[in-house]
Amino acid sequence: MASILHIDSSPRGDRSKSRKLAKEFIAAWQDLHPDDVITYRDLRQTPVPHVTEDWIAASFTAPEALTSEMAELLKFSDALVDEFLAADRCIFSVPMYNFSIPSNFKAYIDQVVRVGRTFMEENGQVKGLANGKKLLFITSRGVEFEAGSPYKGWDSQEPALRYAFQYMGVTDIQFIHANGLDLGDEARKRGLDEAQSKIQKLVNDW
Domain spans, the chain: 3-205
Helices marked H in the chain: 17-32, 53-59, 68-73, 75-86, 103-112, 157-167, 185-205
Q: Which pLDDT score, from 0 to 100, does residue 35 have?
A: 97
pLDDT in tens, 90-141: 999 999 999 999 999 999 999 999 999 999 999 989 999 999 999 999 999 9
Q: Which pLDDT score, from 0 to 100, does residue 114 have?
A: 98
Are 188 and 150 in contact by the 8 Å Cβ rule? The answer is no
What CA–CA distance (Å, rounded) separates 82 from 3? Answer: 12
Are 170 and 118 in contact by the 8 Å Cβ rule? The answer is no
Enter the pTM of the model.
0.96
Phi, psi of 18 (to 5 degrees): -65, -40
CATH superfamily assigned to domain 3-205: Flavodoxin domain (3.40.50.360)
pLDDT in tens, 29-82: 999 999 999 999 999 999 999 999 999 999 999 999 999 999 999 999 999 999
